[in-house]
Amino acid sequence: MPKVRLHLEEEVYEQEIKENSNLVVLAGTRQLPHLKYGCGMGKCTKCACKILKGEENLQEPNWKEKKMLGEKVEEGYRLACQLTITDDIELKQEAVPMKKIKQEATKVSSTN
């Protein structure tokens, strides 16, 4: 069974999950209670996370992730709601929602 290691602020949570699980489905059913999420459909970015280890075991980012995360995809960010976990993974969620980070980046680039 794959292990999920989640870094959230100053805490680290580790848990085994069933193979081919979706992290947001697990969070919604309280099987992965610390993962932050919102819509579960790739539209809100509340479940955005940075993959620290195990990225090679994930499918390539899909169009929803590329659209919502933009350049952050190249930095290793993904939407947990779009991931099917088949092997061990380590990820980090930020205290500030990704949408807010993306908006701030847009403001900075538009003022230059």
Nearest to 36 by CA among 101, 100, 98, 88: 98
- What's the DSSP call for residue 97? -
Prediction pTM value? 0.83
* Over residues 15-31, mean pLDDT: 92
User: Whole domain around residue 45: which residue ranges?
Assistant: 3-111
Give me the pLDDT at residue 94, please: 84
Q: pLDDT at residue 108 above 50?
A: no
Q: Is the pLDDT of residue 13 over 90?
A: yes
Q: 14 in helix, strand or coil? A: strand
The confidence band for 85, taking pLDDT boundaries of 50, 70 and 90, is very high
Q: Range with the lowest mean pLDDT among 18-22, 31-35, 48-52, 81-85?
A: 31-35
The alpha carbon dihedral of 105, 43, 78, 49 has a sign of positive
How many separate domains does the chain show? 1
Structure tokens at 20: 């081919």
Is pLDDT at 68 greater than 90 in this prediction?
Answer: yes
| Between 106 and 25, residue with greater pLDDT | 25
CA distance 73 to 51: 10
CATH assignment at residue 47: 3.10.20.30
3-state secondary structure of 10: coil
DSSP 59: P
